[in-house]
Amino acid sequence: MDILEIIDKKRLGKELTKEELTFFVNGFLDGKIKDYQMSALLMAITINGMTDQETTFLTDVMLNSGDILDTSMINGLVLDKHSTGGIGDKVTLVLCPLLASFGIKIAKMSGRGLGYTGGTIDKLESIPGFKVDLTEEEFFKQVNDIGIVISSPNKDLDKADKKIYALRDVTSTVSIIPLIASSIMSKKLACNADVILIDVKVGNGALMKNIEDAKALARLLCKLGRCHNKAVICLLSNMDQPLGYAIGNALEVKESIMTLQGNGPSDLLEIVVKLATMVIGPINKITEEEARDLVFKQLNNGLAYNKFKEFVEYQGGDLEKLSVSSKIISIKSDRSGYINQIDSQKLGSLANLLGAGKQTEEDTIDYEVGIVSSKKVGDYVNVNEELLRLYINEKTIDITELLSCFVIDNQLRETQPVIYGIIK
């Protein structure tokens, strides 16, 4: 096959075959196809899109570029969970031990922070001693022993996605739906769980900025799952403001612990309970209301939090040593009124400037720093009342930049729901 002919074919908006995509992806992995040639194809896809059939082909090629986990070694129903990324998104830290406390096996590989969004692995690493790099033997042993494991991705899984994503990140080809879908599902299918929960974030702090694109992505993710006989459930949730109050690694772990103890923020709790209910109900053949009651019972009786502690201890973490910075700055509102908008993306970027995330690959994350909001959209704030608390160490940020994240008006606008819907 001819490399340039394939690029030109997609440049003209034509559909690529599975053979052409296989040739291109495998050639890129082998080094026969250069970065600039793959970048040209990615940009042609970004401009002209892909059909669902092309996306299915690309997902299959990427999936088979590396190993696939043999989950037959796990006893029981295996569940995996994914989020498309957001600010303050700590759902995994609460939902996974909650479901594991019901006897569901959670076998999850998670990523690090990307851009302005946080990563589950970074958050877990804020717990002193927590081991994120596990061998395949350790991975399977842990999930069989205690029912839950969360680790860094196996380097031999989905090799194509790792190499292609590195290019997408620097060529402005991240936000195209077919590429997002093939990236997510090739990784999730490689982990080979029976059920895959996907939290599709929508809003200014998410990849999907509007509900129409989020629905299109969710439908495509579910379709790709069905092609591989996997049950995929997508929840569409609001990312027009940070989830919960805390942004930053150790701060988010602490807020997750509060939620597992039944005292967490209402928006975080709503998403966790909805996702858990959608799993617990069908498994136990009970109504949604009955499943919801069971979920709240598990949060309130301490079993969910006990499973979290067991999980952390098994991977070497010491919750007693979890710490946040003692240097705290209170940021006060410069006006009175209703909070009608919070710029999630900007707050996430500002938290990274404090050290909560990386600006360059060489940066070191400061797990103790971050931002905690005192208010949510729809709340009333008085002049000189606290809007935020900054947890800082060596770095700080401009207060005017922080205040600019909030739109405060005399009248309250209509607020949006936490959950927009479910797509299966």
Active site residues: 82, 161, 168, 183, 187
Query: Are the beta carbons of 279 and 298 closer than 8 angstroms?
Result: no
Cα(397)–Cα(76) distance, integer angstroms: 48
**Contacts with 412 (C-beta within 8 Å, 6 or more apart), sequence order:** 338, 340, 378
> For residue 105, which of 81, 125, 122 has the smallest C-alpha distance?
81
Residue 298 burial (10 A CB sphere; 0-12, 13-18, 19+): buried
Cα(317)–Cα(275) distance, integer angstroms: 26
Assigned token pair, 47 = 């401009």
Give residue 290's Cα distance to chain centre.
Answer: 28
